[in-house]
A = this chain, B = another copy of it.
């Protein structure tokens, strides 16, 4: 069987690519999905439906369009990787983790040691906490191929 792995969270470093490359090198039976990671494209996702003058509604409209994709991929994935970086609020990553908890989908967090405390509720409902993309690849290798 192929495993569907959803990559959620931070879009300002290349952690997704590192995991994808690592999985490819090891030839893991894994298919990756993700939100749209182009920041500008993501913010403008709803613009095609008509311009908004109020920034709240522009964000609202784009987020709902993006939600069609993220909800579908989250619902179909076998496990999600939720990444928290050192910048920005990243509430969407925590939201995705909560969504996973709500629907009973296992997820792995990926973050540095210095944000353990504010992430304690998110980590408490996770199946694992990784510090590096390489660790995530190791776990995916073990979970999908060990005997």
Interface residues of A (CB under 8 A from B): 1, 3, 31, 33-34, 36-38, 41, 45-46, 48-50, 52-57, 59-72, 76, 78-79, 84, 88-104, 106, 108, 113, 115-125, 127-131, 135, 138-139, 142-144, 146-147
Contact = CB atoms under 8 A, between A and B. Distances in A.
The 10 closest A-B pairs by CB, nearest first: A102-B102, A98-B98, A63-B124, A94-B94, A95-B98, A59-B120, A89-B118, A91-B94, A98-B99, A92-B121
A91 B65 contact: no
Contact of A41 (B64, B72, B104, B146): B146
A88, A123, A124, A144 interface centre (most CB from chain B within 10 Å): A124
B106 A49 contact: no
